Amino acid sequence: MAVIVLTGMPATGKSTICKYLTESFGYPVVEKDAIKERLFDTIGFQSYPEKRRLDHAANAIVLHMTEQLLRAGQSVIIDNNFDDISQKAFRELTGRYQMTCMTVFLKGNPDVLYERYVKRDKAHARHLGHILQEHYPPREGDCLDYAMTRAEFEDKFLKRGMDHFFCPGGRIEVDTSDFEKVNPARVVEQIQEYFALLSG
């Protein structure tokens, strides 16, 4: 069985690449953001620390779902911007199973990613639970805009280790600073070539 790990900093285009991977391989997808959005809608949060706890809960669910699929002998795609804590737990999990792991790590210039992240939030292109910081759901009269500062971006993502990831197995790094130059079809080909090489 195979595990394709799609990871990297926020605003690197993971969701876009994930669609190509899903269409090409047909594996089920375990996507942390989708889990978080359901937690936002069913539980909500009343402070930023509560929001972080939902993030930890989503990571725990990602690991649980992944383990259930691996136990069933099912290949899987994981879409998650692992931080230092969650990637350690993930390595411990995958080390217990016989599998082929391929990491697709999306990276980019931090300043470009920050600007893309802020632009995306201003456009309300994502679930509001990702954008709002102090409480969700929003209350009547709330401003629905939140402009993350460059320092916050570094604290919440870079310092938590989302700019690096390691798991034994194959690895592809894709610079998405200029997404127009990214070729998702080539990423799929590289994964297929790696799997074919291992299968002999």
Phi, psi angles (nearest 5°) of residue 77: -110, 130
- CB-CB neighbours of 141 under 10 Å: 5
Question: What gap in Å lies between CA 168 and CA 23, rounded to an integer?
Answer: 25
Say what the pLDDT of residue 140 is. 93
Phi-psi region of 71 (alpha: psi -120 to 50; beta: other; left: phi over 0): alpha
CATH code of the domain occupying 2-199: 3.40.50.300
Per-residue pLDDT of the chain (200 residues; tens, 9 = 90+): 999 999 999 999 999 999 999 999 999 999 999 999 999 999 999 999 999 999 999 999 999 999 999 999 999 999 999 999 999 999 999 999 999 999 999 999 999 999 999 999 999 999 999 999 999 999 999 999 988 999 999 999 999 999 999 999 999 999 999 999 999 999 999 999 999 998 86
Question: What gap in Å lies between CA 98 and CA 106, rounded to an integer?
Answer: 25
Question: What gap in Å lies between CA 24 and CA 13, rounded to an integer?
Answer: 17
Contact criterion met (CB below 8 Å) for 118 and 44: no
Say what the pLDDT of residue 107 is. 97
SS3 106: strand
How many residues does the structure list for the chain?
200
Say what the pLDDT of residue 126 is. 93
Say what the pLDDT of residue 147 is. 87
pTM of the model: 0.94
Residue with tokens 């920050």: 114
**Cis amide bond preceding 137, omega within 30:** yes
Domain extent listing, the chain: 2-199
Residue type, 157: F
